[in-house]
Amino acid sequence: MNPTLDEGSMNPTPGEGGQSSVSACYRKSLPIAYALYLLTLIILVEIAGGYLFGRFLPNAGELEALWATAFLRFADFGLILFFVIVSGQGMSAIGLAPGEWRKGIFKGLLWSFGFGLIVFAIWGISLLFHVNLFQYLVSSPTAHFWWILLIGGIFAPIVEDSFFVGGLYNSLRSKFSIIWSVLGVSLFFALLHIRIVLMGAIPITQIIGGILFTLSFEYSDRNGISHNLLTPITIHILANCTLFIIAYSPWVQRILL
Q: Which of 13-27, 172-186, 239-253 has the lowest mean pLDDT?
A: 13-27
Total of domains in the chain: 1
Q: Which domain holds residue 110?
A: 28-256
H-helix segments, the chain: 32-56, 62-87, 101-128, 145-147, 156-163, 170-173, 178-192, 194-198, 204-218, 230-248, 250-256
Residue 9 lies in a domain: no
Residue 90 lies in a domain: yes
| pTM for the predicted model, two decimal places | 0.85
What does the pLDDT read at residue 195?
57
Instruction: With CA atoms as reference, report the closest residue to 173 among 124, 208, 217.
Output: 217
What does the pLDDT read at residue 11?
56
Tell me how far apart the alpha carbons of residues 155 and 153 are, in angstroms, rounded to a whole number.
Answer: 6
* Res 2 pLDDT > 70: no
Cα 225 to Cα 25, 38, 99, 257, distances in angstroms:
6, 23, 15, 44
**Average pLDDT of the residues of the chain:** 84
Q: Which of 11-25, 123-137, 185-199, 222-236 has the lowest mean pLDDT?
A: 11-25
What confidence category does residue 229 fall into, taking pLDDT thresholds of 50, 70 and 90?
very high
Biggest CA–CA distance in the chain, Å, is: 65
Instruction: With CA atoms as reference, report the closest residue to 72 among 195, 168, 241, 231.
Output: 195
Cβ-based neighbour number of residue 40 at 10 Å: 10
Residue 252 lies in a domain: yes
Residue 3 lies in a domain: no
Residue 16 lies in a domain: no
What does the pLDDT read at residue 10?
54
What does the pLDDT read at residue 232?
96
Residue 4 lies in a domain: no
Burial 87-101 (b: 16+ CB within 10 A, else e): bebebbbbbbbeebe
Residue 84 lies in a domain: yes
* Res 3 pLDDT > 60: no
Residue 22 lies in a domain: no
